[in-house]
Structure 1
Amino acid sequence: MNSITLKTKANELPGVGSVYQKKLEKLGIHSVEDLLLYLPRAWEDFSKITEIAKVRAPGSYCIEGNIWSIGNKRSHRKRMNITEAIIADKTGTMKAVWFNQPFLIKNMKQGDEVLLAGRVENEYGQAVMKSPAYEKKADKQTHLGKIVPTYKETAGLSSRWLRYQISKLVKVIYSFKEYLPAEVIKNQGLISYSAMIRQLHFPDNSYQLEKALDRLNFDEMFLLQLAVQRIRKSLDKNRAISIQFNEDLSKEFVKSLGFTLTGAQKKAVWEIIKDLEKPTPMNRLLEGDVGSGKTVVAAMATLMAAKAGFQTVFLAPTEILARQHYESLKKMLEPFEVNVALLTGKTTILPSVILAPDRVEGKAPAGIQSDKDSAKLLKSRKNEKDEILRQVQEGDIHILVGTHAVLKEELDFWNLAFAIVDEQHRFGVAQRAKLRQKSGSDGTMPHFLSMSATPIPRTLTLSVYGDLDISVIDEMPPGRKKVATFLIPPEKKEDSYEFIRQTVKKGRQIFVICPLIDDSEVMELKSVTAEYERLSRMVFTDLKIATLHGKMRPEEKERVMNEFASGKIDILVSTSLVEVGVDVPNATIMIIEGADRFGLAQLHQFRGRVGRGKYQSYCFLFTDNDSETVQKRLDAITKTNDGFKIAEKDLEIRGPGEILGERQHGLPDINTKNLMNIQLIKRTKTEAKNFLKNHDVADLPLLEEKIKKYDGVASLE
């Protein structure tokens, strides 16, 4: 056949064929390049050969010797075929056994010199090696007598087979082109890209394997840092409107609240205000647990913008949450004659007083003497939505609250200077572009503030979210009671139901969360309906129970939530819809069915939906899974209410998917250990920053191509 190259199709390799081709495709391997980049998941050190006389059971060893005898026998009691061999070296003999592999007597024969590696057990006082890996002694070993890689396997495709195929392609490895700049390789003391691939598949020794892993891990985080830092650098090139701090106004606002801001809130407000004063766009994430007071911080910043004569848009993920933010902002800012309007797919609410931003210190426009006159004027408008769009364009509305659908509207702002998005870690590229286009300001970009109740581990703020400045509200308002959390075993479920019944009698309300069995809305509906039927017919027959799920129309969801908020519903059975945007201070118990199906961070989010009022609140975790791993994981959340500790634990247990969102197509599978390695993150971040000071990645096409893979992570919202 023709010479093999990186582009050669896998099925053209000797010994592959159509059968193995299908198995390789399951692993995403279509070409020689794919096969060589299918890197090992672990390594076993079989480089140390132990003399048989020094073997001590139990333990794992690699031995070398001659086969004295080998044969098959049938175990009728266990109904299996057993292959037994006696191996001898100059110090002694040892028995090796294999189960249901009768073909081995064709591969190994009496007199063959072999290497065996595996677990040695003590059997009736005799050391026996059970189901060991084997290889005939040769000038160049592939499977034993060295550090051996193991791969993620699929049915009929073993690590042994993969090692053998890759061993025939070693020369092709050196066809890979180096993509890292020479100065980076020199600065960091890295081996070449091709040497890394070679040493990962076939390490010469433990030192070379360490060097290869160092290059692999450095590359992953360096490419991510380049992707992230490029975003930051490009944003810094934009201009933004400088919004000056008004100290007297800030004191008035704090005084009007009726409560004292926490130290963390004060620090966050100051960081945001200082960013707003800059002529470059703010790109900040405000994070804090549910109930920590993020909205108050955002409200104070929007007040500064409004009184300086500029507009703000406040985006929420759901209509329910948009409505809640509208009500909160309206209540806090009304004393300052700031006009707040709501625009969602189903709801429009105009401000009751119309004041253009350049007239905010004065009186209402001519012809509008009171709220009554204003209402008459608005009633005469044919289309309330068109009226909102008009007032936004003319600058009469200072703060527009809405869902993300606002960005799709035929909407143009008079002078948009500030954009806030809730329950999202960062603004996406498309969102930024839309807002810039609609801002009404010539050549400027709005300041961006993201808010999230999902705490991000520190290592992720340095890596995946390295383009953002972070403000953290890590203390709760005084007097807020911690939610008592309990892991309830199945036999105690009835006791908890009785406690719930007594709680409802006291006038409190209950959330019940059902796990989503798969991504299907049909299965989601089935899960919620089944739980509703069980509770209403068998457990709480005398209580008012309702459901909330993804198949409901927006107006139905809003109706149910309004009824629950007003106390007409005792128990709300829901899927994870309740995770975001439900504020019912009277709800004091959160029941989570199938708690083992959720990550710790998500469980913490659910728990944050109760404990928002003056009553002691509780979270009950129900699960039928009694495995030690599950019990230990769920027990962790009962011991702390600190969202940041929980997020760290979740990253450690489940990887970054829980925080970044469900696995998304096209995103690289980032090594969790690298995301938690603070030294590696700092090392790559420093190198990336220094590199970008003097270079444009666009001038290095091979590096540019590699970075593209990480652009998706760097722009995750």
Structure 2
Amino acid sequence: MTELSQVPVTALKGVGEAMAEKLAKVGLENLQDVLFHLPLRYQDRTRVVPIGHLRPGQDAVVEGTVSGADVVMGKRRSLVVRLQDGTGGLSLRFYHFSNAQKEGLKRGTRVRCYGEARPGASGLEIYHPEYRAITGDEPPPVDTTLTPIYPLTEGLTQQRLRQLCMQTLTMLGPSSLPDWLPQELARDYQLAPLADAIRYLHHPPADADVDELALGHHWAQHRLAFEELLTHQLSQQRLRESMRSLRAPAMPKATRLPAQYLANLGFAPTGAQQRVGNEIAYDLSQKEPMLRLIQGDVGAGKTVVAALAALQALEAGY
């Protein structure tokens, strides 16, 4: 099977040139990019909450029968739909609506919707909910996984991106997304296979720990974070190894100029300054390039250490 990094997004059903340009704006050019375009957060649409149990600020799926719908003329013209389910009632408020939308929400229509319940003038309200009319005797099944919320760009909707991610996940196999971690390393650190972590993060089960996911503490997130950190460290190691193959002028440890500088400094260097200064002096005396970062608080004396290094170069004739 071809690696997903080699398959362009145009291989997905419904992705033409225009959609590919929109996807490119969020960095999605191939199917591997789509897999690693992870959700920012999740919504729980796995159960229907009785209206009477809703709390202000709660995001929930509710289901009920329309008891009335009116166009209210206030500061902003809005369509207010009143919904009842036997345990209580709430209002659905739409500031942007069409006549067809109004006709589809007539009295007696059964509706399932999702949104945030907010306090209103006459009870709880949901502004611009996602909704669908229920036809037939059997209500549609609820979602079996948490609903992912992805980073978007103009012209790209959550529903469209979810569909594309679902298509891509069906192509995910052992050879389509290589897992470079050695098995013994994954076993020692109790890390799941990469494909399992990716699948989980796009579609967590209904009983997933939402708090852990929100904090980035979930095992699936740890799996990806471990690989990212390991890759970064390996790239740094390769950089250091490549630098060791380069040559640099060896500068003998200086004595005359540093002694004059310290005599006029007005204070004695701290133990930490002396230690770091000696380490840098040793590095400068070698035939390989030095790769160092001096780190310290403001006023810790980093400039003194840098000056000693400069004097070593000066005394060596540079």
- In the superposition, the TM-score normalised over structure 2's length comes to 0.73
Change in CA separation of 1:298 and 1:93 when aligned onto 2, cut-off 3 Å: closer
2:101 corresponds to 1:94: no
- Which residue is equivalent to 1:196? 197
Deviation at 1:122, TM superposition (A): 2.6
Q: How does 1:21-420 map to 2 (within 5 A)?
A: 21-47=20-46, 49-56=48-55, 58-69=56-67, 71=69, 73-82=70-79, 84-88=81-85, 91-102=87-98, 104=101, 112=110, 114=112, 116-134=113-131, 138-139=140-141, 141=143, 146-174=145-173, 175-204=176-205, 205-207=207-209, 210-235=218-243, 245=253, 251-255=259-263, 257-263=264-270, 265-276=273-284, 282-287=290-295, 294=302, 296-304=304-312, 311=316, 398-399=317-318
Change in CA separation of 1:250 and 1:268 when aligned onto 2, cut-off 3 Å: same
Contact 1:52–1:63 (CA under 8 A) maintained in structure 2: no
Structure 2 counterpart of 1:190, one-letter code:
L
Change in CA separation of 1:297 and 1:75 when aligned onto 2, cut-off 3 Å: same
Change in CA separation of 1:42 and 1:16 when aligned onto 2, cut-off 3 Å: same
* Aligned equivalents of 1:200, 1:93: Cα separation in 2: 35
Deviation at 1:163, TM superposition (A): 1.6
Contact 1:40–1:201 (CA under 8 A) maintained in structure 2: yes
* Aligned equivalents of 2:59, 2:313: Cα separation in 1: 70
Deviation at 1:228, TM superposition (A): 1.2
* Aligned equivalents of 1:197, 1:96: Cα separation in 2: 36
Q: How does 1:449-468 map to 2 (within 5 A)?
A: none
Unaligned runs of 5+ in 2: none
Deviation at 1:100, TM superposition (A): 0.8
Change in CA separation of 1:50 and 1:281 when aligned onto 2, cut-off 3 Å: same
Change in CA separation of 1:148 and 1:68 when aligned onto 2, cut-off 3 Å: same
Deviation at 1:234, TM superposition (A): 4.3
Please give the secondary structure, in 1, of the residue aligned with 2:49: coil
* Aligned equivalents of 1:238, 1:151: Cα separation in 2: 45
Structure 2 counterpart of 1:268, one-letter code:
V
* Aligned equivalents of 2:306, 2:81: Cα separation in 1: 74
Deviation at 1:295, TM superposition (A): 5.2
Deviation at 1:95, TM superposition (A): 2.8
Deviation at 1:25, TM superposition (A): 3.2
Please give the secondary structure, in 2, of the residue aligned with 1:283: coil
Question: 1 or 2 for the larger relative contact order (CA 8 Å, sep ≥6)?
Answer: 2
Structure 2 counterpart of 1:51, one-letter code:
P
Deviation at 1:227, TM superposition (A): 0.9
Q: How does 1:395-544 map to 2 (within 5 A)?
A: 398-399=317-318
What is the aligned-residue identity percentage? 28
Deviation at 1:218, TM superposition (A): 1.9
* Aligned equivalents of 1:7, 1:267: Cα separation in 2: 50
Contact 2:46–2:146 (CA under 8 A) maintained in structure 1: yes
Aligned residue pair count: 298
- Which residue is equivalent to 1:485? none
* Aligned equivalents of 2:240, 2:75: Cα separation in 1: 65
Structure 1 counterpart of 2:41, one-letter code:
A
Change in CA separation of 1:119 and 1:169 when aligned onto 2, cut-off 3 Å: same
Structure 2 counterpart of 1:212, one-letter code:
A
Structure 1 counterpart of 2:166, one-letter code:
S
Please give the secondary structure, in 2, of the residue aligned with 1:74: strand
Change in CA separation of 1:147 and 1:304 when aligned onto 2, cut-off 3 Å: same
Contact 2:90–2:124 (CA under 8 A) maintained in structure 1: yes
* Aligned equivalents of 2:256, 2:185: Cα separation in 1: 51
Contact 1:70–1:105 (CA under 8 A) maintained in structure 2: no
Deviation at 1:238, TM superposition (A): 6.9
- In the superposition, the TM-score normalised over structure 1's length comes to 0.36
Please give the secondary structure, in 2, of the residue aligned with 1:206: coil
Deviation at 1:278, TM superposition (A): 6.2
Contact 1:60–1:117 (CA under 8 A) maintained in structure 2: no
Point out the structure with the larger helix share: 1
Please give the secondary structure, in 2, of the residue aligned with 1:284: coil
Contact 1:6–1:172 (CA under 8 A) maintained in structure 2: no
Change in CA separation of 1:47 and 1:269 when aligned onto 2, cut-off 3 Å: same
Change in CA separation of 1:10 and 1:101 when aligned onto 2, cut-off 3 Å: farther
